[in-house]
Amino acid sequence: MELHIRYEGDDDPEKCTARKLSRLGYAELHSSAGETPYGIILDPHADTALSPNDKDGSDRLIALDCSWETATEERYELSGQRRALPFLVAVNPVNYGTAFQLTTVEALAGALAILGEWEQAREILSPFSWGETFLEYNKEPLQRYMNCSTSTEVVSVQNDYLDDS
């Protein structure tokens, strides 16, 4: 899948996984809506969870690299299917062990895994010392999400994890 990132520069450039992905040629950064292509937009405020069926709609995955608190639809007028990632746990050094607080590379890798693109997920995580740990730590939920057919099923699986916490 093509990876695109709507980049806002809200974070520390030294820790920015989006910039590293771009520098290594894994993703293309975009600074305005007009530059960003149509695709599946990973949006934490979306009403629909990402499911394997979404892959049929696009071969482009778009992440928002910004503060999650400001990732509103009004701020990011992008064309595409807005999808929220289900329950996943961060393993990056800043948010280790925190659910839903993923870096851009973790969000893209989680989405790729759910869409059945495990090798691409591994590849984009490989430059990060903690990258493989993300897939190992989230292996069970990712495999369960990947085996769902619809967003409703993904949310049901997610609720199993949320009910346990």
Give the burial class of 137: count Cβ atoms within 10 A of its Cβ; 0-12 exposed, 13-18 middle, 19 or more buried.
middle
Position with higher pLDDT, 63 vs 75:
63
| Cβ neighbours around 45 below 10 Å, total | 12
Contact 39, 58 (CB under 8 A): yes
Residue 28: what residue type?
E
What spatial distance separates the first Cα and last Cα of the chain, rounded to whole Å?
33
- Specify the DSSP element, H or E, that contains 157: helix 151-164
The domain of 140 spans 2-164
Residue 119: what residue type?
E
What pLDDT sits at residue 95?
A: 86
State both tokens at 102: 């993923």
> Which pTM value belongs to this model?
0.90
What pLDDT sits at residue 100?
A: 85
How many domains does the chain contain in total? Answer: 1
- Nearest Cα neighbor of 17 from 151, 97, 149, 108 is 108
Rounded Cα gap, residues 45 and 84, in angstroms? 7
| Predicted confidence (pLDDT) per residue in 104-121, tens digit | 999 999 999 999 999 999
User: Considering the chain, what is the average pLDDT of its residues?
Assistant: 87
What pLDDT sits at residue 32?
A: 64
Residue 152 neighbours by CB under 8 Å, 6+ apart: none
Q: Assign 40 a pLDDT band (cuts: 50, 70, 90).
A: very high
**In degrees, to the nearest 5, what angle opens at C-alpha 138 toward C-alphas 132 and 141?**
145
On the question of pLDDT at 151 being above 60, the answer is: yes
